[in-house]
Structure 1
Amino acid sequence: MNKLCMLLTFCLWCVMSYAGQDDPQVKGRLIDAESGAAIDFADVFLFRTGETQPVKQTFPDKSGVFGFTDVSDGNYTLMVRLVGYDIYASQPLQITAQARINLGEVRLKPLETGLAEVEVVAEKRQLVYKLDKKVVEASSNMMGSGGSAVDILENTPSIRVDAEGEVTFRGSSGFLVYIDGKPSIFTGTQALEQVPAGQIENIEIITTPSAKHDTEGDVGIINIITKKHFLKGLSGMVNLSGSTWLTRRGDFLLNQQNNRSHWFIGGQWSDKLTRSHSEKQSTTLYGADSFSWDADGSSVGNRFNHSLKAGWGLDLDKTDLEITVEGGHGGRTHDEDMDYRETQLVSGQSPVSAQYKNRNEFENSEDFGQGTIQLGHRFNEEGHQLEASFYYKYGGNSLEYSLNELNDMQGNRQDGMCYYESEYRKTLRGNLDYTLPLFGKAKLEAGYQYSSYLEDGDYEMAWWNPSTGQLEKQPEAYNTFYFREALNSVYAILSGSWKQMEAQVGLRGEHTYTRLTSSIPDASRTNKRFEVFPSVHVGYNLPHEQRLQVAYSYRTTRPQLWFMEPYITYNDFYSAVIGNPDIRPEYINSFEMNYRKAFGENQVSATLFHRSRKDKIERLRVPYTEGVTLDSMANVGRDYSTGLELSVSLHPVRWWNTTVNGNVYHYLVKNELSAGGKKESSTNYDILWNNLFTLGKYTRLQLDGSFVGPSVTTQGRTDSYWYANVAVRHQLFDRRLTATLAFKDIFRSAYYVNDIQTSDLRLLTKIRPRYPQILLTISYTFNSFKSKASQEKEDRNELFEGARN
């Protein structure tokens, strides 16, 4: 710890030393002349008097503040350009090395007439790298049309989506999901499925989050940025989609922008279905005896969200207020019909065989309501500001339900069981963030966060009684539980830039309190701990359009409630689950180094990463009773991932953009629960080839191909698979109406295989998605509901987000 503190102190000193030498010679703040709102997306140029080419170019930050440094002595004119606004040109400026010119508020006047007759169409980069994150551009991926954030991320390096629609990143499902910087109502894949693709501007993948962010999630944070309106008047969008899998989704969003205020209302009805055919084989050993079964059948899954949302905001000169509310019903279901053939072999006896039909119904859903209040105040134009937010979410009528029916081949019920888990959930979160400019481009950020999660409920189980023909509750299986987790967090970040260098050093302290109360004897637990999480980000702009950045963060994954529930539940007649109240958090060290080089419209990016994880949490499967396996969560040991992500973006001809994303990493897991510390390793890799063709002014064609390599787990491995997709998009009525037709897995090559092998268990699972999957999406936008024009810019002289020339 002493060495770490010395390293952080040295880095802080370096940042402050460099930053102190780089005070802007010219600065100002852009605002809308009518509304007074900050403008954070204009092009700002500096021209030497008598010359027609700018000598400097920059962009404002999110508060509208811009600045120029390293300007040679002379006379200059500052110009600001933004579509929809009149061009601004300053009076002549006399700049010297000692002079500091503060232009104050630079007011841009909106044009009275639009520029609809002048249209510049350009394709955005699919992937943009910044200091502490990479940004996935949603509009460049037609495969996501009519889907959700999952469908957009499916074409991203290191992201995998399995046959059940579950998302993993670099082999892990341990990520947090935020929407516009606020925590999602749901978690993991379910959270990503709730956001319609048509309302997404871009997705930020923060793999080495700074100390300002939550420390939860071993592979970081996925932050979904939704589309915003920015011109006066009423704007809106409507998206409708359906597929051959009977997936259906409809969503709308209306926005009204006034001089000082704005409001919005939106909603969605989404049923995202997955359909597949499964084959399973299992063998469990009990000494000299064995029990084997094989099964095949079909399954249908649905992730649904039926909700409404609304919000109102006030934009004053220095103060912003926004209030949002949302409510609805969401969750997921899974129905499976399987034919089972089982054989029991007892030593010295003849094999006994039987055939059954098993039907399984599963649902996990809740009614939810949430509200958010955000308040921000700017003390000056230099970035001195204070922000506060409060978030509350209530989940009621929450139900986790599973029903299993075991019938003979004629359809007569032979056995049955079901379980019910009802609960309510409360989430509370409050943030206070303060930013203080120091000198030059150095600034100090500090803040406090309180978050609390509470879940209270009970569990009961019923078994089939052949004599009564009814499912009867089992009193001995009834359990109650109560879980609360509270975190108090403080953080401090010092950052700055000097010429071609930018650096950021942060430290976060978290006090965690968890309490689990159960009616099962000796299963209640209370834990308290205080931990420190550092982060470091450093970047440098090399000659010839090259960029290099290095990052480190220390993170954790805290056990969720279902990891700890100390009672047995049955997924079906052949598999049971029990929690582990003594499960410990994971701790992760994450390192990254990214290199980028641009060649005109082409770009190459390479990211070297290493992640080491202590107390890895994984689900282990062991024999339980005859033919039944038992899953439990355990801290199995350590794992290590070391690899390279490579992205090559090319524009060979005007009508063709192509991107190849590759990812290869060596994965090693040390199972410390096994005698001698068993090790398993594999070289994991995947390749994505994305092609976008311009067939006409209003028509685009997209063709994707993906290959996902094999991987190991603590108890087995998954096989490789590949698939290809194609989509065509056509726009009508001045691009206001868009129709997209997508064909997924066109060669029916996706085949997911998972193999678990231990000394006394073998379980082989094969899943093939139902064919075909064809998705049609119709989208309509009106008025000014378009992306900010200059968000498509990429300043190759700008090193990172927040860096200015």
Structure 2
Amino acid sequence: MKLQLILLSFFLAFTQFAFAQGPRAGGMPPMSNGTIFGKVVEEDGTTPIEFASVVLHQSSDDKVIGGGITNEKGFFRISKIDEGNYYIQVKFMGYETTRIDSFDMGTEAKRVGKIVLKSSATELEEVSVSADRPKVEYNIDRKVINVSNLATAMSGTAVEVLENLPSIQVDAEGEVSLRGSSDFTVFIDGRPSVFSGSDALKQLPASSIASIEVITNPSAKYDPDGTSGIINIITKKKMGGFSGVANVHGGNQGRYGSDALFSYKTGKFNFYLGGDYNNYGRNGTSTNITNTYRGDTTFVQSAKGDAGRAFTPYNIKAGFDFDATKNDLFTLMFSKGQWGMNRTEESDFIDEEIINGVPSFSNSFFSDELFEIKNNYYTADLDYVHKFKDKKGHELSFGAYFRTSEKDESTENIFENSDGSYYKEGQYGTEYDKDKSLRLKLDYILPLGDNKFEAGYQARLERAEGYNELFLKDGSDGEWVLQDEFSFNNTYSRDIHSAYGIFSGKKNKLGYQFGLRAEYTDRQIKILELPEDDSHINRIDLFPTVHFSYQLPKEQQLMASYGRKINRPRSWYLEPFLTYSDAFNVRRGNPDLLPEFIDSYELGYQKNIKNATLSVEGYYRIEHNNIQRITLVYEEDPSKRISYPINVGTESTGGVEIMYSTPIVKWWHMNLATNLFSYSIEGKIEEQDISRSSFNWTANISNDLKLGKIGRLQISSRYYSPTVTAQGEREDMVSLDLGYRQQFMDGKFSLNVMARNILGTMNREQYTYGPDFDSYRNFEMLPSYSVSLSYRINNYKPKRGKRPSGSGGGGMEGDF
């Protein structure tokens, strides 16, 4: 009865892509006449290879008769085959092409059994770093970065890993954007991260990551939040028996850290325990110049000095899997950690006042700014999957994810004359937030012949409270004095209830999927000191998704998709009170801010060319109610600026990503990628038209060179072109990285040496304009170097196969 209620409640349905001519998700379909079945695996004979291309040829003239793509379990099916003599070719990037010699096909179905693919690189003695998976895989619905193959990122974080995709831009200060937008959703092993956006990526060491999935047009099953899509981090997990891996690294700019993961499988249980502690630095020099205009008077503030950021995350996690029965799997996981960051800036500062072009006042002093943040968090996750016995792929899954975090944030500004006396009053600000969230989800999958129906319910329940305080003091001997007019207490609550349905299937070589998600949002914000500014909304929103795929001849594939998304304002964007971000910048929120709604379209093409792969993806995204944090002169004090978010109008991005991966020779593999796109914004700020546009492009070139039997050198470079912003321009940036890896002792030890930004050209240079001011900022990042050492116990390596859908224990389920 419960399942009937679920089916009646949700109107549409989804399945993983039936892979043109492919089998039903979940396993081998029933036998039928004129059909060939098989499974493609790696050299170990058990690990399935997903997205391998299987092509059926007529023996007499090599004519292509049909083909398909393997599903997540490695299975494929080719149907409607006439009697005759045929042979099969199986290809996948990074592996040798395998041929199944000619065979006769009659009216009976034929099984070809397991087809084993070998690495396309030269086999080495016992230990082989050349048998790695491709660095970046361009799959039907996502891009997958295999982190273990990136020597240039092994002692960094998820941020350094993502630099290898043309969809991703990372500036000199480590801020990440996906196709030009910093609003994206981060998941870890298919579960929501405690943090959002770039903050989530900065606290994950690359050595603890198996792979990263970038999904720009997710299905209706997933949260529609985020302008540009989902980034799913898949962490390293367990193997059979006892195994583990430990890493330690160190370098300049205060870089050091270590991490370890151990697992033990016995009977129906699989236990794992892991932890990490790291310190990452991003240091450089900073230049800031701001001119503020008031009638015939110009206020000039300029500063130049050393600036840096230090990130200090740590995490401890433990959990287990329990195979209660053949059809029931439980997963329980706990973690505790802290994400810390401090930003320092020590500058020589000049404060000037110019009247009618004649300097009337000028003073030089020293500015010392310290920003610190510590966020302590706890998580507990429970997943359950039940597989029905009546048919393959018939599943019911449940998940519950609890998060709690406490954040302490402080900013201190000190301004001293050369003799040590205070030039102006010091400033100290604090912010405290405590947040608790619970996510519940129920998912149901029902295969219907060659189609599949999927439906589910999700609840996201969040409660938060916090306060802001500002203190001032007049001199080095003075006391910090609380400023009541800039100190506030607030509470925040938000409940989102979602129901989705998806239907998918195939017709000959055409795969299709239609989905619809409905969400009800109840949000409330209360300010104790400003009850008249309380904010409350109730709303229902619909998010349709459509995906198509078509199998073309000669190992070609065409994909198209559409999805509607939402970018909800963050809680601090909505707080109506004033607070200081530093001594010269005031900020406030906007409780009247509307959410952004995004329409996203994609059209993709893939072709395998012997051992090379070409991927071309066109996209167009338009954002309505576009949110921009604008900066203006603070009317109460013209020497300061005020920033706050507003809805300015519409923003659109459209372009094409081209990616080509090919071996040059056996020991040299090259990846080339570019993103060519047009960016435009249309709207007004304070009745001033800000409409503008620019043509942008990025380029990534990566070379992998095998040096001897156990060495590898990687050379990577990237370029970001100039672009316009809502209030100015951002200049171009280029960077060059080197990485070297060597293995020892039959692969138990590996040494990684990394050099990033070796030319010192990774800068963030930006101009901002307003009606009464203009500013220039440039951060020049210093080169960084690091060395890491890894030790594997019992030849540990993460499994490639995916967990059952809904288990939350690995990769997110495919959109088709």
> Which residue of the other structure, out of 372, 394, 397, is the alignment partner of 1:387?
397
Q: In the alignment, which residue of structure 1 is the partner of 2:264?
A: 256
Partner amino acid, structure 1, of 2:478: G
Q: Higher mean Cα deviation, 682-691 or 129-138?
A: 129-138
Question: CA–CA distance in 2 between the matches of 1:748 and 1:492?
Answer: 50
Q: Structure 2 regions of 5+ residues with no counterpart?
A: 1-9, 91-102, 117-123, 803-811
1:660 aligns with 2:672: yes
- CA-atom RMSD, angstroms? 3.7
SS at match of 2:159: helix
Distance 1:431 1:498, change over 3 A: same
Question: CA–CA distance in 2 between the matches of 1:55 and 1:140?
Answer: 36
Shift in Å, 1:197:
1.1
Q: In the alignment, which residue of structure 1 is the partner of 2:656?
A: 644
Question: CA–CA distance in 1 between the matches of 2:281 and 2:436?
Answer: 28
> Which residue of the other structure, out of 501, 508, 511, is the alignment partner of 1:492?
501
Indicate if the aligned counterparts of 2:603 and 2:619 stay in contact, CA closer than 8 A: yes
Question: CA–CA distance in 2 between the matches of 1:280 and 1:160?
Answer: 23
Distance 1:40 1:802, change over 3 A: farther
Question: CA–CA distance in 2 between the matches of 1:652 and 1:58?
Answer: 28
Partner amino acid, structure 2, of 1:265: L
Shift in Å, 1:783:
1.3
Deviations 1:643-662 (A, max 9, x none): 11111112121011011111
Partner amino acid, structure 2, of 1:763: S
Question: CA–CA distance in 1 between the matches of 2:754 and 2:438?
Answer: 40
Shift in Å, 1:583:
0.9
> Which residue of the other structure, out of 262, 278, 281, is the alignment partner of 1:273?
281
SS at match of 2:625: strand
1:780 aligns with 2:788: no
Question: CA–CA distance in 2 between the matches of 1:778 and 1:76?
Answer: 50
Question: CA–CA distance in 2 between the matches of 1:678 and 1:614?
Answer: 15
Indicate if the aligned counterparts of 1:377 and 1:385 stay in contact, CA closer than 8 A: yes
1:733 aligns with 2:745: yes
Q: In the alignment, which residue of structure 2 is the partner of 1:795?
A: none
Q: In the alignment, which residue of structure 2 is the partner of 1:139?
A: 148
Normalised by the length of structure 2, the TM-score is 0.85
Q: In the alignment, which residue of structure 2 is the partner of 1:420?
A: 430
Question: CA–CA distance in 1 between the matches of 2:512 and 2:369?
Answer: 54
> Which residue of the other structure, out of 726, 731, 737, is the alignment partner of 1:714?
726
Indicate if the aligned counterparts of 1:130 and 1:801 stay in contact, CA closer than 8 A: no
Deviations 1:116-138 (A, max 9, x none): 95969434323322332221222
Distance 1:167 1:62, change over 3 A: same
Distance 1:319 1:61, change over 3 A: farther
Question: CA–CA distance in 2 between the matches of 1:404 and 1:801?
Answer: 48
> Which residue of the other structure, out of 195, 205, 213, is the alignment partner of 1:204?
213
Q: In the alignment, which residue of structure 2 is the partner of 1:35?
A: none
Indicate if the aligned counterparts of 1:373 and 1:389 stay in contact, CA closer than 8 A: yes
Shift in Å, 1:66:
6.5
Shift in Å, 1:190:
1.2
Question: CA–CA distance in 2 between the matches of 1:369 and 1:699?
Answer: 40
Partner amino acid, structure 2, of 1:206: I
Shift in Å, 1:608:
0.7
Indicate if the aligned counterparts of 1:63 and 1:383 stay in contact, CA closer than 8 A: no
Partner amino acid, structure 1, of 2:648: V
Q: In the alignment, which residue of structure 1 is the partner of 2:296?
A: 288
Q: In the alignment, which residue of structure 2 is the partner of 1:300?
A: 308
Shift in Å, 1:684:
1.0
Partner amino acid, structure 2, of 1:579: G
Indicate if the aligned counterparts of 2:690 and 2:726 stay in contact, CA closer than 8 A: no
Q: In the alignment, which residue of structure 2 is the partner of 1:434?
A: 444
Q: In the alignment, which residue of structure 1 is the partner of 2:761?
A: 749
Question: CA–CA distance in 2 between the matches of 1:187 and 1:348?
Answer: 46
Q: In the alignment, which residue of structure 1 is the partner of 2:704?
A: 692
Question: CA–CA distance in 1 between the matches of 2:363 and 2:489?
Answer: 37
Indicate if the aligned counterparts of 1:132 and 1:210 stay in contact, CA closer than 8 A: no
1:672 aligns with 2:684: yes
Q: In the alignment, which residue of structure 1 is the partner of 2:96?
A: none
Q: How does 1:548-559 map to 2 (within 5 A)?
A: 548-559=558-569
Indicate if the aligned counterparts of 2:316 and 2:337 stay in contact, CA closer than 8 A: yes
Question: CA–CA distance in 2 between the matches of 1:119 and 1:449?
Answer: 45
Question: CA–CA distance in 2 between the matches of 1:427 and 1:803?
Answer: 26
Q: How does 1:347-386 map to 2 (within 5 A)?
A: 351-380=360-389, 381-386=391-396
Indicate if the aligned counterparts of 1:41 and 1:59 stay in contact, CA closer than 8 A: no
Distance 1:682 1:803, change over 3 A: closer
1:172 aligns with 2:181: yes
Question: CA–CA distance in 2 between the matches of 1:177 and 1:700?
Answer: 31
Question: CA–CA distance in 2 between the matches of 1:584 and 1:782?
Answer: 52
- The aligned length equals 753
Distance 1:803 1:11, change over 3 A: closer
- Identify the structure with bigger relative contact order (alpha carbons < 8 Å, sequence gap 6+): 2
SS at match of 1:459: strand
> Which residue of the other structure, out of 241, 248, 251, is the alignment partner of 1:240?
248
Deviations 1:413-445 (A, max 9, x none): 3420111112211011011000000112x1011
Question: CA–CA distance in 2 between the matches of 1:541 and 1:99?
Answer: 22
Indicate if the aligned counterparts of 1:237 and 1:780 stay in contact, CA closer than 8 A: yes
Question: CA–CA distance in 1 between the matches of 2:623 and 2:703?
Answer: 36
Question: CA–CA distance in 2 between the matches of 1:477 and 1:668?
Answer: 37
Partner amino acid, structure 1, of 2:679: Y
Q: How does 1:119-198 map to 2 (within 5 A)?
A: 121-198=130-207
Partner amino acid, structure 2, of 1:779: S
Question: CA–CA distance in 1 between the matches of 2:139 and 2:686?
Answer: 42
SS at match of 1:152: helix
Indicate if the aligned counterparts of 1:131 and 1:537 stay in contact, CA closer than 8 A: no
SS at match of 2:281: strand
Indicate if the aligned counterparts of 2:187 and 2:233 stay in contact, CA closer than 8 A: yes
Question: CA–CA distance in 2 between the matches of 1:734 and 1:55?
Answer: 45
Distance 1:406 1:435, change over 3 A: same
Q: How does 1:507-518 map to 2 (within 5 A)?
A: 507-518=516-527
Question: CA–CA distance in 1 between the matches of 2:777 and 2:464?
Answer: 33
Indicate if the aligned counterparts of 2:12 and 2:514 stay in contact, CA closer than 8 A: no
Shift in Å, 1:140:
2.6
Distance 1:552 1:155, change over 3 A: same
Distance 1:773 1:318, change over 3 A: same
1:766 aligns with 2:778: yes
Question: CA–CA distance in 1 between the matches of 2:335 and 2:786?
Answer: 28
SS at match of 2:561: strand
SS at match of 1:150: helix
Question: CA–CA distance in 2 between the matches of 1:29 and 1:651?
Answer: 28
Q: How does 1:529-608 map to 2 (within 5 A)?
A: 529-608=539-618
Indicate if the aligned counterparts of 1:25 and 1:67 stay in contact, CA closer than 8 A: no
Partner amino acid, structure 2, of 1:581: P
Q: How does 1:26-41 map to 2 (within 5 A)?
A: none
Question: CA–CA distance in 1 between the matches of 2:766 and 2:444?
Answer: 48
SS at match of 1:522: helix
Distance 1:765 1:648, change over 3 A: same
Question: CA–CA distance in 1 between the matches of 2:22 and 2:262?
Answer: 46
Indicate if the aligned counterparts of 1:394 and 1:424 stay in contact, CA closer than 8 A: yes
Partner amino acid, structure 2, of 1:711: T
Q: In the alignment, which residue of structure 1 is the partner of 2:354?
A: 345
Identity of aligned residues (%): 29
Distance 1:19 1:12, change over 3 A: farther
Q: Higher mean Cα deviation, 129-138 or 280-289?
A: 129-138
SS at match of 2:148: coil
SS at match of 1:217: coil
